[in-house]
Structure 1
Amino acid sequence: MQWDDVVTRIRMLPDFSRFLLPPLFSDLQKVAEHGPVIVVNASQYGCDALIVRNAEDPVHIPLDITQAEACELSSEFHTLAEQFGSSDNQLKLVGILCKLWNHVVHPVVQALGESNVCPGSRIWWCPTAEFTLLPLHAAGPYETKKKNLADIYISSYTPTLTTLIRARQRPEGSRDASSQHFVAIGQGNPVNGRELKCVAPELAVVAQHVTPIVSFTSLEDANATVENALDALDHNQWLHLACHGMPNRTQPFKSSFAMRDGPLMIKDIIRSNWQNPQFAFLSACHTTVGDEKSPDESIHLAAAMQFCGFRSVIGSMWSVDDEVARQVVSAFYRNFIDDSKRLDCTCAAVALHKSVESLRKKIPLEQQIVFVHIGV
């Protein structure tokens, strides 16, 4: 009775009417205000996609793949991703991306077309279970004269529907650039880890594009310590991080970024005193890798940054080549900062899409699709 009384009083507070209750579908539908969100599900009963639309009923698509097959495909891709960069795995990669297209993504694309979602529109993927480890954004037939998903729609991800809704509800931040602060943190020589030779040139590229627009700070090498990074996170709305990313599959909150003096952990980042954070570019390896044994867990480095409050995040799904990262970053900021000379975190997905498109003929396939966008 005491419990019921307390819960009743809490639900009378502003914005707490649904306390300890599941969200209403009418509230969840708001997630699709700027484009459809596709939830992809795998279970022992079958695999499905559910297209959430803003003003209409959701569209249900049964998928021609079993949970066991999805698990096998995920495992096959995970094994392949660990070998990227060491040998030519392009044919195997294309094979996996074709299977993803045939059994998962193409039926969704057909349904989106029937729902009048125009080519060039943004879409959001919300993968669950075995699908969280698969690069849905990169699926395609990979045949001449046939379009891959990236040729049709601009893909983003969200770990959950409510995370994306919250990111959209946060204030846009001041339009006055003088009140915006951007920090670039680069660590090419961590205590434990191989040297990253392109970190300094990468940060120079970021500075070149951003300095004329916002207050800019750079932390490099000896200055890129755990303490300095956490202090910088407290005072900046915009973040570029170039370093090694280290996922911890058994204890996700101990996943970290390698600083000069040790690991900058998710559990410490989450405790930071954020001031309206807007955007983070995580130019680090393995920032969006989930846990193969617990695929429903979304606490990876990029999702954690969004849970912390960043409205828009770019991260990598597997190891990034140092030089490729520099090229992508350069192209990204060139596309990100528009003619109005202001920063807008809602433009990040389109900027990434254009950047990768411009580099297609210059970098290998696995590096073309390694970066993904999460959030608004």
Structure 2
Amino acid sequence: MPGCWPWACPTPGRGHTPLPGVPEELRGLRDALGPERLSTLADDAATVAAVRERLPGHPWAHFACHGRLDMSAPVTSGLCLRDGDMNVLDFAELRLTGADLAFLSACHTRLGGGQLPDEAIHTAAALRMAGFRHVVSTLWSVQDRVAPAVAAAFYRNLEAPGAARSAGAAVALHRAVAELRDADPTNPMLWAPFAHDGP
């Protein structure tokens, strides 16, 4: 069973607003995966250097933080960590041979630039280039109260008896989004931004 390493910045600093839903999201991961399979890098420890150092040793990674989008220079888009951003180029340069599943619980992680709409230059694509077979990401802003619910349901579906593990990531995300949609069917802005890339 693969271990999961969540990178979490509930109080990201550097001018970013706090993300009060991140602790709840981490509790949901703990409940779904079990504490023995979960290692957490949070707050001051969630630095760019620490992520670069530890990412190769974890087949599953979950990022709960702010996403950064630059429509005019999409290669500078990425994830906001404690001491800086880890952008598209940073991830694309990695070669993660054991990478399997990444969940980007951050805004705008599957949105690229406006000048080259046919080119998929975005954070999710960079993680795929780095070696992750499956990447869950978002097309636009995600409400802080929604992200924990989708993440918890996603991992519950992956871990259900008879589930196909990471090979079932697309189905697990579909079911997680369906739960949210059933609870609030008239508000697609809440449940429609989540996307899966992979086989």
Q: TM-score surpassing 0.5?
A: yes
1:348 is matched with which residue: 169, 184, 194?
A: 169
Instruction: After TM superposition, give the deviation of residue 291 of structure 1 in Å.
Output: 1.4
- For 1:278-317, list aligned pairs within 5 A: 278-317=100-139
CA drift of 1:343 comes to 6.9
Pick from 200, 203, 206 the counterpart of residue 23 of structure 2. 200
Residues 216/275 of structure 1: CA separation in 2 closer, same or farther (3 Å cut): farther
User: 2 CA distance for matches of 1:353 and 1:215?
Assistant: 24
- TM-score (norm. length: structure 1): 0.50
**Residue type at the aligned position of 1:344:** R
CA-to-aligned-CA distance 1:185-235 (integer Å, 9 cap, x gap)? 1112222211110111101211221136x7421111111111111112121
In 1: Cα distance, 2:67 partner to 2:115 partner: 20
CA distance in 1, matches of 2:15, 2:117: 28
Instruction: Give distance in 1, aligned partners of 2:122 and 2:93.
Output: 16
Q: Does 1:259 align with 2:97?
A: no
Q: What is the CA–CA distance in structure 2 between the aligned matches of 1:334 and 1:344, rounded to whole Å?
A: 10
Q: Deviations over 1:319-363 (max 9, x none)?
A: 0000011111111111111315x8722101111111111222434
The runs of 5 or more residues in structure 1 that have no matched partner are: 1-176
The letter of the residue matching 1:238 is W
Give me the whole-angstrom Cα distance separating, in 2, the residues matched to 1:253 and 1:360: 32
Q: Distance in 2 between matches of 1:233 and 1:270?
A: 13
Higher relative contact order, chain-length normalized (CA < 8 Å, sep 6+):
2
Pairwise mapping of residues 236-275 of structure 1 onto structure 2 (< 5 A)? 236-275=58-97
d(CA) in 1 for partners of 2:165, 2:126 = 21
Q: Does 1:362 align with 2:190?
A: no
Q: Deviation above 4 Å: which 4+ runs of structure 1?
A: none
In structure 2, give the amino acid aligned to 1:354. Answer: R
Q: What TM-score, normalized by structure 2, do the two folds share? A: 0.91
CA offsets per residue over residues 32-75 of structure 1, 9 Å max, x none? xxxxxxxxxxxxxxxxxxxxxxxxxxxxxxxxxxxxxxxxxxxx
Alignment pair present for 1:232 and 2:54: yes
SS at match of 1:240: strand
Q: How many residues align?
A: 196
Identity over aligned residues, as a percent? Answer: 35
Partner of 1:336: 158
CA-based RMSD: 1.7
Give the letter aligned to residue 189 of structure 1: T
Which entry has the higher C-alpha Rg, 1 or 2? Answer: 1
Q: Structure 2 counterpart of 1:271, which letter?
A: E
Q: CA deviation at 1:264?
A: 1.3
